[in-house]
């Protein structure tokens, strides 16, 4: 049976306090983790299924990439608004609504017969995910007292880390043994179970304070974020040039930035802005937004090239690639709850700093040891170490960010923080793609020209030309493996096999050469974010909450 929180308004400047509820907060945490797991899993699991979708739906690479981009675009753009709506209408109500939309749209994704239907269903999924996500952190802030919040965030973060990294492995298993449709069918029973549990166990965390929605602010923020996120997602596809009707990527980015500046100026004049002004006076909250964005940039900037490297350069199948990275998710899942409890006891500053440094060192090791023919076992230690680092990051980051946030601002604070992290993720993918694309073009020219000495003289020019314009996302690798498509017909089978092996070697060597500087960008940013944690303000003693009607002494 649903339990109801106290409706006594919390003072605007008071620290967040747990909702008065008979519901076990750990049961609430379990429900929230189930919902959050579904959202994050769908961001990564779809990547593995893209080749199957291309064949099944008869879609082009550009069309099927929007299966990912449509979800990310809608999800990132609506988080701030959804967080504010949670403050207005209640986090439980918004969580259940978002989860219902997400579950129904997952079924629509699974039964889609063409790429247009699938993209439309993914737009609805992104809407459901955006409505649901800010509510999780806000509800946790309400139902857990400050001294136990780190442990809760640790468990929540462990599940989030597991979902983010486990997607490739689970997706590989499903696509290999079933079909791509089942990655969406999987959400149906999970979603129904979670909706029922949410209705039964999540308390009503509304504070009793009335809120209003700033419609102009919503429009400015939504359109501004859309311009920036769309520009970053599509920058590589359009080579940072024109998209349509004379509008280019830089117009999208510049226009989005201008609208967000206007949004900030507008919000400063509003009595109840979408993101309360008090949040920007909280040094730790602002600092954790920066660290969260840098962390997301680093994760996507690392995962994007590494995933392609494992499958395209080392020629692992999706399942083996996912299993190779699995130690990271296991390490993160196991360490995060302990890191959260430790943050409750001693504070999260040095735990967070250590996690960022450990993770950057682990990824630096991968940069150093990755080669064109490295065995998968070689990466066991750095991926495990990276998981330990991730496990030490998420819980302290959330604990420090939300420590001084009031209940009435929890939804807005969560929405804004999730937005900055999504912007960091999209920016990380865009920068990694751009750097990798430029580095790979030069490396392919160099490697193919060097390898041409092993090719019969009459075939050298065609061999080198076959590597011109290859995509950095690995989608053109089939052209390398089927080298007969750009060589003269009638060559002996033995000659073709030798040339195909040489072509694979050229691509793998060039990709490693291009990947190293790409990964280095993310590693350096992670190291900088670790150093910035030195400016975290030490935890202050929590004030004793007042009884109803009691005045400060």
> Confidence class of residue 209 from pLDDT cuts 50, 70 and 90?
low
The pair of structure tokens assigned to 305 is 């090239």
Q: What angle, rounded to 10 degrees, do the helices at 61-89 and 91-110 form? A: 160
**CA 386 from centre of chain:** 16
pLDDT given at position 407:
66
Query: What's the pLDDT at 263?
Result: 84
pLDDT of residue 21: 46
- Read out DSSP for 5-34? ---PPPPTTSPP-----SS-HHHHHHHHHH
Least confident of 16-25, 61-70, 260-269, 483-492: 16-25
Q: How far is CA 205 from the centre of its chain?
A: 27
Q: Copy the structure tokens of residue 39.
A: 């959202």
pLDDT score of 547 more than 50: no
Over residues 202-220, the mean pLDDT reads 71
Q: Are the C-beta atoms of 436 and 306 separated by less than 8 Å?
A: no
Structural element, H or E, at residue 243: strand 242-244
Would you state the pLDDT for residue 487? 63
pLDDT value at position 358? 92
174-183, 254-263, 266-275, 544-553: least confident range: 544-553
Confidence at residue 489, expressed as pLDDT on a 0 to 100 scale: 66
* Secondary structure, 3-state, 120-167: HHHHHHHHHHHHHHHHHHHHHHHHCCHHHHHHHHHHHHHHHHHHHHHH
Confidence of residue 54 (pLDDT cuts 50, 70, 90): confident
Q: How far is CA 507 from CA 3, 317, 441, 445, 501, in A?
A: 59, 17, 11, 10, 10
Higher-pLDDT residue of 278, 514: 514
The residue ranking higher by pLDDT, 375 or 150, is: 375
| Residues contacting 433, CB < 8 A, separation 6+ | 235, 236, 304, 472, 473
Class of domain 25-214+270-438+514-535: mainly alpha
- By DSSP bridging, strand 242-244 and strand 247-248 are antiparallel
38 or 159, higher pLDDT: 38
Grade residue 161 by pLDDT with cuts at 50, 70 and 90: low
- Using an 8 Å Cβ cutoff, are 53 and 59 in contact? yes
Better-scored residue on pLDDT, 400 or 128? 128
Q: How large a percentage of the chain has pLDDT more than 90?
A: 6
- The arithmetic mean of pLDDT across residues 480-500, rounded, is 66
Element (H, E) at 217: helix 215-234
- Give the three-state DSSP class for 393: coil
Higher-confidence position of 224 and 492: 224
Supply the DSSP string of 325-361, one letter for each residue: HHHHHHHHHHHHHHHHHHHHHH-SHHHHHHHHHHHHH
Please report, for the chain, the start and end positions of each structural domain, with discontinuous segments joined by +.
25-214+270-438+514-535, 215-269, 442-508
223-232, 386-395, 400-409, 442-451: range with lowest mean pLDDT = 400-409
Q: How far apart are CA 295 and CA 401, in angstroms?
A: 14
- Give whichever of 96-100, 114-118, 271-275 has the largest mean pLDDT: 96-100
| Angle, helix 493-532 to helix 283-308, in steps of 10 degrees | 170
- The whole-number pLDDT of residue 256 equals 86
- Taking the C-alpha atoms of residue 156 and residue 475, their distance in angstroms, rounded to an integer, is 35
Long-range contacts of 512-515 (CB under 8 A, 24+ apart): 512/309, 512/313, 512/370, 512/371, 512/372, 513/439, 513/443, 513/446, 513/447, 514/436, 514/439, 514/440, 514/442, 514/443, 514/472, 515/305, 515/306, 515/309, 515/367, 515/370, 515/436, 515/439
Amino acid 485: pLDDT: 55
Distance CA 156, CA 395 (A): 8
Instruction: Look at residue 4 and tell me whether its pLDDT is greater than 60.
Output: no
- State phi, psi for 33 to the nearest 5 degrees: -65, -40
Token pair in block for residue 206:
């509304």
> What are the tokens at 24?
């076990």
The confidence score (pLDDT) of residue 483 equals: 56
Residue 162, pLDDT above cutoff 80? no
Instruction: Provide the mean pLDDT of the chain.
Output: 77
**DSSP annotation of 491:** -
State how far the Cα of 240 lies from the Cα of 234, in Å rounded to an integer.
Answer: 8
Nearest-angstrom CA–CA distance, 285 and 283: 6
Q: Which residues contact 442 (CB under 8 A, 6 or more apart)?
A: 514
| Least confident span in 160-174, 445-459, 499-513 | 160-174
Query: Where residue 168 falls among pLDDT bands split at 50, 70, 90?
Result: low
H or E element: which one contains 457? none
Across the range 426-443, mean pLDDT stands at: 79
Helix residue ranges, H only, 240-317: 249-267, 283-308
pLDDT of residue 357: 92
Compute the distance between CA of residue 456 and CA of residue 46 in angstroms, rounded to an integer. 42
| Tens digit of each residue's pLDDT (9 = 90 or more) over 229-281 | 888 877 777 777 778 778 888 888 888 889 888 988 887 887 777 777 777 78
- Angstrom distance (rounded) from CA 366 to CA 383: 8
User: What pLDDT does residue 488 have?
Assistant: 66
């Amino acid at each position: 049976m649903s339990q109801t929180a106290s409706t006594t308004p919390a003072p605007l400047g008071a620290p967040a306090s747990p909702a008065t509820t008979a519901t076990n907060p750990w049961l609430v945490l379990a429900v929230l983790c189930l919902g959050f797991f579904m959202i994050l899993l769908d961001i990564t699991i779809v990547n593995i299924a893209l080749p199957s979708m291309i064949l099944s739906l008869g879609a082009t690479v550009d069309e099927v990439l929007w299966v990912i981009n449509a979800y990310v675009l809608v999800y990132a753009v609506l988080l701030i608004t959804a967080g504010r709506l949670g403050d207005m209408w209640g986090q439980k109500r918004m969580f259940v609504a978002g989860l219902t939309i997400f579950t129904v749209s997952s079924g629509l994704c699974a039964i889609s017969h063409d790429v247009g239907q699938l993209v439309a269903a993914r737009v609805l999924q992104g809407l459901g995910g955006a409505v649901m996500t800010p509510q999780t952190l806000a509800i946790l802030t309400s139902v857990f007292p400050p001294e136990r919040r780190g442990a809760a965030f640790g468990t929540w973060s462990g599940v989030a880390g597991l979902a983010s990294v486990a997607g490739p492995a689970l997706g590989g298993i499903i696509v290999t043994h079933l079909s791509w449709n089942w990655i969406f069918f999987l959400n149906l029973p999970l979603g129904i179970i979670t909706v029922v549990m949410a209705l039964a166990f999540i308390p009503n965390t509304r504070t009793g304070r009335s809120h209003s929605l700033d419609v102009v602010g919503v429009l400015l923020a939504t359109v501004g974020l859309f311009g920036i996120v769309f520009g970053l997602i599509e920058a590589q596809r359009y080579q940072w040039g024109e998209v349509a009707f004379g509008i280019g990527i830089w117009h999208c980015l510049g226009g989005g930035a201008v609208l967000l500046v206007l949004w900030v100026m507008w919000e400063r004049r509003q009595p109840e802005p979408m993101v309360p002004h008090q949040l920007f006076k909280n040094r730790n909250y602002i600092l954790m937004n920066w660290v969260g964005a840098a962390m997301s940039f680093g994760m996507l900037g690392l995962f994007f090239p590494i995933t392609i490297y494992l499958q395209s350069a080392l020629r692992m199948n999706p399942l083996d690639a996912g299993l190779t990275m699995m130690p990271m998710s296991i390490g993160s899942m196991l360490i995060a709850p302990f890191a959260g409890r430790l943050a409750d006891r001693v504070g999260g500053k040095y735990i967070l700093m250590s996690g960022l440094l450990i993770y950057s060192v682990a990824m630096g090791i991968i940069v150093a040891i990755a080669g064109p023919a490295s065995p998968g076992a070689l990466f066991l230690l750095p991926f495990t170490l990276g998981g330990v680092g991730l496990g030490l990051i998420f819980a302290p980051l959330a604990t420090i960010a939300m420590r001084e946030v009031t209940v009435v601002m929890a939804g807005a604070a969560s929405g804004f923080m999730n937005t900055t992290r999504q912007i960091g993720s999209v920016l990380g993918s865009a920068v990694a793609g751009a750097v990798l694309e430029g580095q790979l073009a030069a490396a392919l020219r160099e490697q193919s020209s060097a390898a041409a000495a092993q090719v019969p003289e009459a075939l050298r020019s065609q061999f080198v030309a076959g590597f011109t314009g290859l995509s950095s996302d690995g989608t053109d690798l089939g052209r390398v493996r089927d080298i007969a498509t750009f060589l003269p017909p009638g060559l002996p089978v033995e000659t073709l096999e030798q040339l195909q092996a040489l072509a694979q070697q050229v691509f793998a060597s060039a990709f490693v050469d291009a990947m190293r500087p790409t990964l280095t960008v993310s590693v350096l940013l992670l190291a900088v974010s670790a150093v910035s944690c030195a400016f975290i303000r030490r935890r202050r003693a929590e004030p004793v909450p007042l009884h109803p009607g009691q005045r400060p002494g």
